[in-house]
Structure 1
Amino acid sequence: MSCSVIGSANAAVCVSILLVFLPGVSSQHQEDVRNSFELSARAADKQVGGSDDYAKWFSIFKTTLLNLHWFSQQDGLEQEVKGLVFDSLDVSKSDRELLIRALNFLQKLEENKDALKLFNQCVLDKVEQDAIGSLLFLGGGSYHGKFQLAVCSEKNGAVAVSTSYVHFNVHGAQYRGVLYSDGKVDTKTTLSTHVFGLNDELYGKVRDSIKKKLVDSGVSEQAPISGL
């Protein structure tokens, strides 16, 4: 397999996860991250079913990921977001800007319509509307949702993924630009950030079986994002 190093940042949607790969992440490790995160998200979706228990969803997602020979480098305490989600992310300014760019290109570029469709389907369970606007809480309605924003980096051959898991509940008619209750809308948004590392040696023993499970499923849940 090719292990070439990618010289520029790129991004992809895997189930309800937006992944940004920083420059220097090898093509093999990008594939490993996408496949691991997709399989873990699918396992969580299957076990949670139609429930809106998003804390349980992430618990299953994380447990599955650890069983695929990832390990926790940092566990974040769950916190209630009192402002914009992006301002609360525990990532560098440059990483945050890349995530915002990826979301913008996901929404605005025609060639990303398949990725946006995938993201919309997986992020919002109760309504059919544009996911990007909902993530920014612009508009109105009543819904529940979840998403993850993840940044993958590689240093000296070691891969790390910083993933910020966000879930929200909104009940109300009108709200704008805030992610907390203003007395008019009952809104709660919680955020937890986790950093995972990959045990390359052990993962190499199951890499092919993970790929086979995804292929055998017959459904693609990965889509690249153009424009980054």
Structure 2
Amino acid sequence: MFLYLVEHDFQMGLARLPASAAGECIITLLFLPGVSAQHQEDVRNSFELAARAADKATGDDYVRWFNTFKTTLLNIHWFSQQDGLEQEVQGLVFDSLDLSGSERDLLIRALNALQQKAENEQALNLFNQSALDEVSQDAVSHLLFIGGGSYHGKFQLAVCSEKNGAVAVSTSYVHFNVDGAQYSSILYADGKVETKTTLSTHVLGLNSELFSKVRDSVKKKLADSGVSEQAPISGL
């Protein structure tokens, strides 16, 4: 498990938690201008700890993964501001993200930086393509939580902002529904299988005052659970 960070002008950045096993989820965290260095560290550490807990506790089941992920965050003084707002996607998933022009430009540059690594290219297709038949078989286990005609993308986009000292993270993931379709049909239907694509967004806030009391404990838990590798990604 690795955590990457890119900073641009010390305010904008990208963190990626890539999947190395079937049950692990990928989180790309984009820091907008105005997020302090301390809060960037708090968010990165919080999300890494929550992702590690979810990876360890669950298998290839997105609902269980996200419940463990969210519960871990709530236990270290995060709270829900908006829970599971869903919208059906028409066209590209990326076009449905609720971002301003400047935020969208930053995210495009961040994703382009990630695409420099071959293992990331297929994951980005979940946001750049609107059909699952664009996903290669080799990448399926790393990209999708699979179950009974319902498929959740493991690749999430999260945007962190700060206003008047208050930190919020909006995280979005893709959910695919294919009624009556077989697993192989989704991948090799040449566009003939009807796929309903939904973008689900959760907004989480951080109680910074309370988190400051557990900050060292979070760092210790990360250290005890394995080496946390945070390294720069060029290209942003």
8 Å contact 1:146–1:168 — kept in the other structure? no
Gaps of 5+ in 1: 1-5, 121-128, 176-181
Q: 1:100 to 1:55 in 2, by over 3 A?
A: farther
8 Å contact 2:126–2:174 — kept in the other structure? no
Match of 1:226 in 2: 234
Q: 1:91 to 1:59 in 2, by over 3 A?
A: farther
Match of 1:123 in 2: none
Aligned residues between the structures: 198
SS of residue in 1 equivalent to 2:155: strand
The residue type equivalent to 1:190 in the other structure is T
Q: Does 1:58 align with 2:61?
A: no
Tell me how far 1:226 sits from its aligned partner. 2.5
The 5-angstrom pairing of residues 183-222 of structure 1 reads: 184-185=192-193, 187-220=195-228, 222=230
The alignment yields a C-alpha RMSD, in angstroms, of 2.6
Deviations 1:162-186 (A, max 9, x none): 11122447722265xxxxxx5x135
The 5-angstrom pairing of residues 47-196 of structure 1 reads: 47-49=57-59, 51=60, 53-108=61-116, 113=117, 120=120, 130-137=122-129, 139-142=134-137, 143=140, 144=144, 145-168=153-176, 171-173=186-188, 182=191, 184-185=192-193, 187-196=195-204
SS of residue in 2 equivalent to 1:205: coil
8 Å contact 2:170–2:202 — kept in the other structure? yes
CA–CA distance in structure 1, aligned partners of residues 92 and 230 of structure 2: 27
CA–CA distance in structure 1, aligned partners of residues 84 and 100 of structure 2: 16
The residue type equivalent to 1:65 in the other structure is L
Match of 1:13 in 2: 16
TM-score in terms of structure 1 length = 0.75
Deviations 1:118-174 (A, max 9, x none): xx4xxxxxxxx7433454238453432412111111122211111112244772226
CA–CA distance in structure 2, aligned partners of residues 134 and 204 of structure 1: 36
23-32 or 135-144, which deviates more: 135-144
